[in-house]
């Protein structure tokens, strides 16, 4: 085969392999320079492509073999696919005491771009210069032409020696008035007395904000205080997590969520994506909008009662977020509220609205109708039926039909219906009773 053809065929391999990167564990056997500097002589690891482990590297003597774990295709040639168990490359190394690193050579599997026929062909492996704790291995065609040269790189971590003790962190919320911001207390301790901090503020299991940085900070166990704030578009429930990493790469347990604390942060009902008035989202968006149009406002005699305020608080309760209840005037953190307790507050708020709007304006009979209605009529709510519909009707409807709208896990995005989930951090489980 002409050299140019082989180089062009190698491009298919390079297009796929450009995605193949990952942390690599270096073998313990070193080469030694005159100054007794340790230099790793090979890497053995599992490579990943787009986050999915695909190629495992093994060693036999001086030969290293990469074997496909999971089938994957070239990004520009999806019909050509590497198969599980297929050897994707072999590499040998030889030691030259006059050089810093060993010399690598070997074969790499390439596809014919037209037929997808695969063959092992010569490849070049070149170790780059070490930068900090990382070492780079470049792979490319052994015989290159000007128009076909390309390469991909693997990054290896140098063996960590010396300090292997991870930092320890702790974070907790400080007492105070519930508002859009809150103060949290934390400490970080490491035997090196320095560490990099990683902060994450979560809203219902979704990362809403990150903080920290690459600079080493004090890690002596001294108590410190910081402030966290609610993030627009993220309704909660909020919790903040802290992790730490020292200069030698040791990370705190369960990094980056090593220590977490629930932080009730007040959010605006009007800007919350979990609020939809008196419509039932479980019936679909269109049906929910129609129900809200009919049920948000009811008329008794000639007086309008706006039930949407109570319905919005009920939505907030099912989501477990922290809001101001305009009916009772209270600020409520709903994370620990059971579904039953949220429904009972819903009934109280609905009846309070009836009394507030109708007492002194309409007859006692209409006040009773607003506060009670016909509990059997909850089925008619689905089509926006006419009276008698009142607070007890709404309450019976949510007790009967809304079980799937209550979020049982405040640490996972969306609405979870598993009644006994295990959560991290603890305290995220909610009772759908």
* pLDDT for residue 51: 41
Element of type H or E holding 416: none
Could you tell me the pTM of the whole model?
A: 0.63
Closest Cα partner for 242 from 289, 280, 195?
195
**Cα dist from 349 to 346, 352, 370, 423, whole Å:** 5, 5, 12, 31
Sequence spans of domains, the chain: 3-157, 168-262, 270-405
**CA nearest neighbour of 337 among 354, 323, 351:** 323
Assess whether pLDDT exceeds 90 at residue 262.
yes
pLDDT at 49 over 50: no
The CATH code of domain 168-262 reads 2.60.40.2550
Give the per-residue pLDDT at 59. Answer: 77
pLDDT, tens digit, 9 for 90 and up, residues 150-196: 334 445 444 455 678 899 999 999 999 999 999 999 999 999 999 99
The pLDDT score that the predictor gives to residue 143 is 47
- pLDDT one-digit tens code per residue, 344-403: 999 999 999 999 999 989 999 999 999 988 655 544 554 444 557 889 888 988 888 888
Q: Whole-number mean pLDDT of the chain? A: 75
Q: How many helices (H) and strands (E) does the chain have?
A: 6, 26
């Amino acid at each position: 085969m002409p050299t140019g053809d082989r180089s062009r065929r190698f491009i298919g391999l390079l297009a796929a392999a450009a995605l193949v990167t990952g942390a690599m564990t270096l073998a313990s056997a070193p080469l030694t320079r005159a100054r007794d500097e340790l230099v790793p002589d090979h890497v053995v690891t599992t490579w990943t492509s787009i986050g999915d482990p695909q190629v495992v590297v093994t060693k036999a003597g001086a030969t290293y073999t990469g074997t496909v774990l999971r089938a994957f295709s070239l990004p520009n040639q999806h019909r050509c696919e590497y198969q599980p168990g297929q050897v994707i490359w072999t590499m040998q190394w030889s030691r030259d005491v006059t050089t810093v690193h060993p010399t690598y050579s070997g074969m790499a599997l390439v596809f014919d771009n037209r037929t997808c026929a695969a063959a092992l062909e010569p490849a070049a492996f070149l170790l780059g210069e070490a930068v900090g704790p990382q070492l780079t291995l470049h792979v490319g065609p052994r015989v290159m032409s000007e128009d076909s040269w390309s390469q991909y790189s693997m990054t290896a971590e140098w063996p960590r020696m010396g300090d292997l003790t991870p930092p320890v962190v702790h974070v907790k919320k400080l007492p105070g008035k519930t508002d859009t911001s809150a103060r949290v207390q934390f400490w970080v301790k490491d035997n090196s007395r320095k560490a990099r901090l990683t902060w994450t503020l979560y809203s219902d299991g979704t990362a809403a904000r990150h903080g920290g940085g690459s600079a080493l900070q004090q890690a002596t166990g001294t108590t410190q205080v910081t402030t966290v704030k609610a993030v627009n578009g993220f309704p909660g429930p909020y919790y903040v997590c802290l992790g730490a990493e020292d200069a030698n790469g040791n990370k705190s347990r369960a990094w980056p969520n090593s220590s977490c604390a629930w932080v009730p942060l007040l959010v605006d009902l009007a800007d919350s994506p979990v609020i939809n008035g008196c419509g039932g989202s479980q019936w679909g968006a269109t049906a929910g909008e129609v129900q809200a149009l009919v049920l948000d406002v009811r008329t008794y005699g000639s007086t309008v009662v706006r039930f949407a305020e109570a319905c919005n608080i009920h939505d907030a309760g099912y989501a477990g977020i922290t809001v101001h209840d305009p009916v009772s005037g209270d600020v409520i953190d709903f994370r620990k509220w059971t579904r039953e307790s949220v429904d009972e507050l819903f009934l109280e708020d609905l009846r309070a609205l009836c009394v507030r709007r109708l007492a002194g304006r309409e007859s006692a009979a209409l006040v009773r109708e607003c506060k009670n209605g016909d509990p059997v009529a909850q089925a008619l709510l689905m089509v926006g039926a006419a009276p008698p519909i009142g607070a007890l009707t709404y309450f019976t409807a949510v007790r009967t039909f809304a079980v799937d709208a209550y979020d049982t896990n405040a640490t996972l995005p969306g609405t979870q219906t598993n009644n006994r989930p295990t959560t991290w951090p603890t305290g995220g489980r909610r009772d759908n009773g």
